[in-house]
Structure 1
Amino acid sequence: MTQIVKAPLFEQLIAHAQSDPASFHVPGHRYGGAFQTGAEQQGRIEALARQWFMPLMRLDATELSATDDLHHPESAIKEAEQLAARLYGADHTYFLVGGSTAGNIAMLLAVCDPGDTVIVQRNVHKSVLNGLKLVGASAVFVMPEIDETTGIPTIPTVRRIEEALMRYPQTKAVLLSNPNYYGMGVVLDDYAEAVHRFGIPLLVDEAHGAHYGFHPELPRSSLRAGADGVVQSAHKTLHALTMGAWLHMQGDRIDRGRLTEALAMIQSSSPSFPIMASLDISRAIVEEKGEALFHASIQSSKRFRSELGNCCSSLATVDTLSGDASHYADPLRVLLTDRSGAWSGYRLQQELEIRGCWAEMADPRHVLLLFGLQTGERDVEFLLAACREIDVLIKSDAESEIYQSVRANPTAMGCQTSEGRSSGDAVQMGSEPVSQPVSFARSHSRASEAVPVEAAAGRIAAEMLVPYPPGIPLVYAGEQLTEAMTKYIVRLAEQGAKFQGASDPRMTTVRCYV
């Protein structure tokens, strides 16, 4: 007999909505009842909101005896988290309504005290740096490996992690980001074994891997490799709403009491029930459909890679698989590039958007395409049609003197060939393989000033510079700017990269300590 797959939180919210509850509590929209005025009394925005928002509002509840409490789950949320843990092979899974950001910060708060040291790869997401700031901890930065084909940074070698552990035995944890934004990762079994020999936990930001392990052609999750804490953004590749994520735990190297306390501090006391329900839905659908859920998307990505070469001579996809059995590449992520290097990834992204194709992100050399759930033949045809038009534009550019000069010297416009490793420049600029501890204790007393980027080499940065996406810091506050760094920043800004949170959005200046 086929077992019925349940989504306890989602089903409980439906049952509550169907009971036609009289709301005398928050939220103020009263399950969408605020839009129940007559059509003749509705303004334009109210009518649009009723059409688009009202169905979701029926599930937008608060902490009631009928709905449960995220910060003290006893019924539907508790069961939903247990089912997620069972599916992923974790001892405990926590629902996150603040994305993987909340999970990364919570893990650091759970394992560190002010002044403690954590080993971190340099190319981590900014949420890890923010977590270190909140703790007041120090980071030992370890340089990642650079993929030889693409120049894209992945994660440090296990030997380099062991070197850092031996140099800094007081370390409280190792935190790695695996896979990177491009879906390139490393099997972590040896890392877990090495870290555990020192009696500390391995924490993994696996934000882009919520779908891992559910299809033969998908990578295996870091949980299966023995990581102690793993964060996954279910909204990136599954059915969850944006900000829906999971924090999976296993073993006893992380204090669960401290972790629960940390999550209560950094997550809202009024968490979104639609987001939590979408996590429950995501888990239930994966459990019910298994590998069949990902078949169409994997086949579509294969078809696009195969057919692009038949219809476009200027555009190409980049193979991100190194050939090393310990490395993997997510088949749902496709890197698109101009073969000559004359067009930057940002230019390609703009041209795709003009034609209605919105990519995940771009860098100086590539456009990253994510083939989400049920991406099918129609989607591939639409994308190929856009690529054919762009291919014609690139060929017309080939007749121009500018194009020929860039093709002869691709570094002149920052559009390096793969051998130039343009994507890896940001993490190669004079950094040591294993750094000394860098304190993230917060200080508001030091004065700073705006300095033209071109003149900032040798100065100490007073702000973190983060191109977004992917959200990987190029420069940390307190780090000395080098000439290579400033040139790279100028190049990115000229090509249209956006720097999230920068004091000067145009990146003509950077704040430096006086």
Structure 2
Amino acid sequence: MKDEERQSAPLYEMLERYKAEGKISFHVPGHKNGQAYRTDKSAGLLDEVMTADITEISGSDDLHHPEGVILEAQRLAADCFGAEESFFLVGGSTAGNLALILTVCAEPGTVLLVQRNVHKSVIHGLMLAGARAVFLDPLLDDSSGLAVAPSEETVRKALAAWPEAAGLLVTMPNYYGMGSDLAPLARACHDSGVPLLVDEAHGAHYGQHPELPAGALSCGADGVVQSTHKMLAAMTMGAMLHVQGPRLDRALLRQRLAMVQSSSPSYPVMASLDLARRLLHSRRADAFTAGLAAVETLRRGLAELPRFKALRPMEPQRHTGGGEPGASATGQAPRSRSGAYTTQDPFKVVIYDATGVLSGFELQAELERRGCVPEMSDERHVVLLFSLGSRAEDAVSLLAALRDIDRECPPGRPATSGSTPVSTWNNFEPRSLLEPVQFSLRPVREEETECIKLEESEGRVAAEMVIPYPPGIPLLYPGEVITGEINLRLRSLAEAGARFQSVSDPALQTIKVYITR
């Protein structure tokens, strides 16, 4: 592909022409290029966006049957990210996960191998498909106790036990930026003739710079979902689905995408995907220079603040094709003894109070009081997300906040050595392979349930999905037995101040369970 093609943004440029022409709208949307708000001075923020907020009119193409500027924009995206074909998503990675599952699980009862701690959108996809899920335990990193991905051995055993499985779906990287080599999992799947599907929501930037881990596509994945808005520069809800190889029915995938995405997709969101791709396509590795410099500023500053430790040392390592680590100039973690954790996103800096005085939730609150808003926290850790849009002055402000916290919240006794943090990511109970779990859209009927105190729920069957958020990993789904370990984790998270979704009691003092017959 020629450089001048990579530097174009056909969809965005179409919108710019539309705005410049000043044509009169006799079509939706009803705000008429923002005209409805022109006399409302409080709507200034929306004015520029609304003048480009159009619909499928002459020359604007159609996301669900692209033949013009959208087709060209998606072709450029495929070239940029190394896919055979790319699809724009206006419903975030959620839409991509749903479409992939509905494609490989084309009939109710289809078996799909699934990493146990997946995003809630995957659970929703299983419900929509009426699929049977075989949940696979991810490996744990030795030093942090955090989950990464299933091992090759676990995957091969599952494929042998359930040869009818339609594929494997894993998450890489995790919310903390931790990962491992996906190539062995891809080989295991391909040896059995099934696709590897990867929820790479937090890895849209992977493979675009020598200091970043390899992307899932380069490791052999067949279908990859990326939140372009998370780690690159698209608007919120802007994401992409990339495919390669012969193992996915692409005609069916297009039909599934049309099912789960709006028939009136947002043109500003799609244009932002086009621009995010152009920024990366034209600047390549240079796009990340400032962001990586900001991370380096933070790394050096943390060395002078021994109270606040990074989850893993930021040691030099270079990432090469196929996911194999080498040497680099920014943060990389040591290889865990279990092999669970071999790659680290330098843009995800995870810190904690080594004195044990402040929990992760408390440290996040202290940072927010000082104008620094982290991505998320758990009982111990705070996740600080950098990107190609970060600057060194951002890291300087963060370090000033940490120094201020150190002064105002003096350290107490050191944290207990070897204690395991309660994480909203480790939402699974280690166990051997179990029988497939049947999912469906059958609603939970109120007359079948009762609300009881959380501390009394051990041994009962959950009648609601419990999702600590962020990052949105279900800890329980309806029909699952509440074990002692899960009960303890729920209580610990609730006491630590975690937020929950999809529950009748957001404070999780009570929980809905099925009535025992």
Query: Is residue 16–residue 52 contact of structure 2 (8 Å, CA) maintained in 1?
Result: yes
How far apart are the structure 2 equivalents of 1:353 and 1:418?
A: 28
**Aligned partner of 1:437: which letter?**
P
* Gap change, CA 1:421 and 1:362, over 3 Å in 2: closer
Instruction: Name 2:135's counterpart in structure 1.
Output: 141
Q: Do residues 336 (structure 1) and 330 (structure 2) align?
A: no
- Alpha-carbon distance in structure 2 between the residues aligned to 1:301 and 1:502: 37
The SS at the match of 1:336 is: strand
Check if 1:469 corresponds to 2:459. Answer: no
More helix by percentage: 1
Provide the rounded CA distance (Å) in 2 between the counterparts of 1:63 and 1:370. 36
Contact residue 136 and residue 440 of structure 1 kept, 8 A: yes
Give, in angstroms, the shift of residue 14 of structure 1: 0.7
The aligned residue for residue 443 of structure 2 is 444
- Give the C-alpha shift of residue 252 in structure 1: 1.4
The whole-number CA distance in structure 2 between the counterparts of 1:2 and 1:444 is: 53
Matches within 5 A, 1:154-233: 154-233=148-227
Aligned position for 2:264: 270
In 2 relative to 1, CA 509–198 (structure 1 residues): closer, same or farther, beyond 3 Å? same
Instruction: State whether structure 2 residue 30 is matched by structure 1 residue 18.
Output: no
1:89 to 82, 102, 122: 82
Aligned residues: 488
- SS where residue 93 of structure 1 aligns? strand
Whole-angstrom CA distance in 2 between matches of 1:19 and 1:224: 42
Distance 1:199 1:26, change over 3 A: same
TM-score (norm 2): 0.91
SS in 1 for 2:53: coil
The CA distance in 2 between the partners of 1:304 and 1:467, in whole Å, is: 29
- Structure 1 contact 313–391 (Cα < 8 Å) conserved: no
TM-score (norm 1): 0.92
CA contact (8 A) 1:241 1:275 kept: yes
The residue matched to 1:499 in structure 2 has which SS?
Answer: strand
TM-aligned CA deviation for residue 434 of structure 1: 1.9
Cα distance in 2, alignment partners of residues 455 and 426 from structure 1:
22
Instruction: Please name the residue that 1:28 is paired with.
Output: 30
Corresponding residue to 1:358 among 373, 378, 388: 373
Aligned-CA RMSD value: 1.7
The separation in 2 between residues aligned to 1:484 and 1:35, in whole angstroms, is: 54
SS at match of 2:86: strand
Alignment check: 8 A CA contact 2:293 2:392 kept: no
Deviation at 1:99, TM superposition (A): 0.3
* AA of the residue aligned to 1:364: E
Q: Which residue of 2 aligns with 1:433?
A: 432
Matched AA of 2:436 = P
Q: How does 1:435-514 map to 2 (within 5 A)?
A: 435-444=434-443, 446=445, 447-514=448-515
Task: Find the aligned partners of 2:281 and 2:387 in 1 and give their Cα distance.
Answer: 18
What is the alpha-carbon distance in structure 2 between the residues aligned to residue 445 and residue 378 of structure 1? 51
Alignment correspondent of 1:251? 245
Task: Give how far 1:66 is off.
Answer: 1.6
Distance in 1 between residues matched to 2:459 and 2:185, nearest whole Å: 36
Structure-1 separation of matches of 2:76 and 2:389 = 24
**Partner amino acid for 1:95?**
F
Amino acid at match of 2:71: K
Measure how far apart 1:427 and its partner are: 3.9
Aligned amino acid, residue 461 of structure 2: I
Q: Which residue of 2 aligns with 1:318?
A: 311
Gap change, CA 1:124 and 1:421, over 3 Å in 2: same
Alignment-derived partner of residue 362 in structure 2: 347
**Percent same amino acid among aligned pairs?**
46
User: Using the alignment, how far apart are the partners of 1:426 and 1:328 within structure 2?
Assistant: 18
Letter in 1 for 2:403: R
**Gap regions ≥5 residues in structure 2:** 314-332
For 1:460, give the aligned amino acid.
V
> Are the aligned partners of 1:151 and 1:418 in contact in 2 as well (CA < 8 Å)?
no
Listed one character per residue, the Cα deviations across residues 70-103 of structure 1 (whole Å, up to 9, x for unaligned) are 1111100000000001111111100000000000
Letter in 2 for 1:436: E
